[in-house]
Amino acid sequence: MASSVSAQGLRFPPTLLASPPPNPWSRLPSARAASLVRSPPAAASVRSRGPARRSGAVRSRAVAGASASGIGPDVGDVLGDVRIFTAAGEPVLFKDLWDQNEGVAVVAMLRHFGCICCWEFASALKESKPKFDSAGVKLIAVGVGTPDKARILAERLPFPMDCLYADPDRKSYDVLGLYYGLGRTFFNPASAKVFSRFDSIQKAAKNYTIGATPDDRSSVLQQGGMLVFKGKQLLYARKDEGTGDHAPLDDIFDVCCKVPVS
């Protein structure tokens, strides 16, 4: 019998490692899935490169970034019908999380609730929440795992439970086509940037527990991302290239807190 393979203390059965990553569009009708996939321009940036001198330039670059991410502009229509759960365990549709006409929402797709890098990012999001609130922006954080795992993060970090949602089946991640796999999780060069944030990770780890990790260990191979919506309109999209490769919050502020989105 083949032995399992270990990576950083996590053990994965041979059947998991031998199987290719799931097709993120397999749960969507083929025509609909094709309409959401875009081939990113080779030299395009997924995010803004810094504060723009003019608000119009910032917005233009944000929209271009959404296109370059490979996430189609109409993804809000499909994402809206995906059911996830509140941290309290209540089912809810994405489209019910913010005003689908004029509401602005920052949607942070965390990897999973047992990822220490996600605890660090959730801590940064919590510290930024007053800025989002003052701009009338709804903060939404989604993680892979069951609601009880979400509550562990919310209670121990802590993080506001009314902003935290659980997607145990990774349905929203599939719709968005976020990266998945062993290489992305453990060996992608983009993950090296976590070493420059050692102090903030150490701070977030103060009350960390591996008990927040999903029971389905294949879920730890999921990567996250960041999106900004105005209603159903996608203003910004960025896929995490590897573990800990989070969107710069300054870019998010430029899109949703400085730029008129009407």
Q: Is the pLDDT of residue 49 over 70?
A: no
pLDDT of residue 65: 52
CA nearest 76: which of 255, 226, 238, 231? 231
Angle between helices 116-134 and 147-156 (to 10 degrees): 70
Cα–Cα distances in angstroms (integers) from residue 63 to residues 66, 133, 223, 256, 259, in the given order: 5, 23, 22, 12, 12
Instruction: Tell me the pLDDT tens digit for each residue of 118-176.
Output: 999 999 999 999 999 999 999 999 999 999 999 999 999 999 999 999 999 999 999 99
Angstrom distance (rounded) from CA 133 to CA 131: 5
Contacts of 78 (CB under 8 A, 6+ apart): 28, 32, 36, 175
pLDDT of residue 66: 57
pLDDT of residue 40: 37
Number of C-beta neighbours around residue 203 at 10 A? 12
CA nearest 179: which of 45, 24, 14? 24
Give the least confident one: 29-33, 104-108, 185-189, 199-203: 29-33
pLDDT of residue 18: 37
Q: Which has more pLDDT, 192 or 12? A: 192
Collapsing DSSP to helix, strand or coil, 200 comes out as helix
Average pLDDT of the segment spanning 36-51: 36
Q: Is the pLDDT of residue 254 over 80?
A: yes
Split at pLDDT 50, 70, 90, the class of 199 is very high
- 122-147 burial: b if 16+ Cβ within 10 Å, else e: bbebbebeeebeeeebbbbbbbbbbb
pLDDT of residue 46: 36
237 neighbors 253 (Cβ within 8 angstroms): no
pLDDT of residue 69: 76
Angstrom distance (rounded) from CA 213 to CA 115: 7
Question: DSSP letter at 145?
Answer: S
pLDDT, mean over the chain? 81
141 pairs with which residues across the strands?
108, 164
pLDDT of residue 246: 96
Task: Name the percent of the chain lying above pLDDT 90.
Answer: 68
Angstrom distance (rounded) from CA 84 to CA 150: 12
Angstrom distance (rounded) from CA 242 to CA 115: 12
pLDDT of residue 195: 86
Kindly give the pairing relationship between strand 164-166 and strand 137-144.
parallel
Exposed/middle/buried for 11, CB within 10 Å: 0-12, 13-18, 19+? exposed
Kindly give the pairing relationship between strand 5-7 and strand 10-12.
antiparallel
CA nearest 234: which of 105, 46, 121? 105
Q: Say which CATH topology domain 54-258 has.
A: Glutaredoxin (3.40.30)
Average pLDDT of the segment spanning 190-201: 89
Q: Determine the residue type at 12.
A: F
